[in-house]
């Protein structure tokens, strides 16, 4: 399977993603520059973390208009699997490819630490094969990671199983103290209605080797190997 990692000016998680795919999953991977206009030849895409265009205006607001995003949007509409991580989540939300908006953390401070997240559904390209209730330990690093939707939008997401990950304690229990940014309903990751586009704030690409502090991120990155090929073939 061949992955593409989209890189914008200010991205800083692109090399982590490239290493995680190549070393952790042992799959083919290549960078995709923001000025490119095609993602032909890729079976899955990763929109990495960082501070695209310096996070001017709003996080992800400028990157959403990069030339590559037209191809990314077409890829998503054709069923191609896309994973947006941290700033990648913000870009996908700005582009309308992922639901919700990302606001300043509730404590108005940048948060960089390890958290626990609980799998809520295994129906997506990047949670396929993961049992709901599975708890993963992953790092976060963001200042604008507070996921927000209205109560009506939250009910819509619940009904359509679009909530993919929630913050929790180490045992998988709901705990307000485990929510690092004040996200609505402790939501850490969501998907589009089709389930081929997944966006999350924690960084699975920074948790692919025990030497980095943990390797549970591979369960998310590797899930697409079970589902992504079928999605790509169906495009």
Burial class (CB in 10 A: 0-12, 13-18, 19+), 109: exposed
Asked if 142 contacts 181 with a C-beta cutoff of 8 angstroms, the reply is yes
Catalytic residues: 86, 203, 205
Residue 123 Cα distances to 94, 99, 115, 167, angstroms: 24, 17, 23, 19
Asked if 94 contacts 60 with a C-beta cutoff of 8 angstroms, the reply is yes
Give dist(CA 161, CA 232) in Å, integer: 21
Give dist(CA 216, CA 67) in Å, integer: 33
């Amino acid at each position: 399977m061949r992955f593409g990692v989209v890189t914008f000016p200010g991205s800083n998680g692109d090399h982590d993603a490239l290493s995680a795919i190549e070393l952790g999953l042992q799959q083919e991977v290549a960078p995709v520059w923001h000025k490119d206009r095609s993602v032909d030849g890729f079976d899955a895409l990763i929109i990495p973390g960082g501070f695209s265009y310096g996070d001017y205006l709003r996080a992800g607001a400028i990157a959403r208009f990069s030339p590559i995003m037209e191809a990314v949007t077409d890829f998503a509409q054709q069923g191609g699997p896309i994973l947006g991580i941290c700033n990648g989540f913000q870009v996908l939300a700005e582009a309308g490819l992922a639901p919700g908006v990302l606001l300043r953390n509730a404590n108005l401070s940048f948060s960089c630490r390890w958290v626990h997240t609980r799998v809520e559904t295994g129906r997506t390209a990047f949670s396929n094969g993961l049992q709901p209730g599975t708890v993963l330990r992953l790092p976060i690093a963001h200042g604008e990671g507070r996921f927000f939707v209205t109560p009506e939008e939250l009910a819509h997401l619940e009904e359509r199983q679009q909530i993919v990950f929630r913050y929790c304690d180490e045992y998988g229990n709901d705990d307000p103290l485990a929510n690092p940014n004040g996200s609505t309903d402790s939501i850490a990751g969501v998907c589009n209605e089709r389930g081929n586009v997944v966006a999350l704030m924690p960084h699975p690409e920074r948790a692919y080797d025990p030497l980095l502090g943990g390797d549970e991120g591979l369960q998310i990155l590797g899930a697409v190997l079970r589902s992504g090929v079928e999605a790509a073939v169906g495009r």
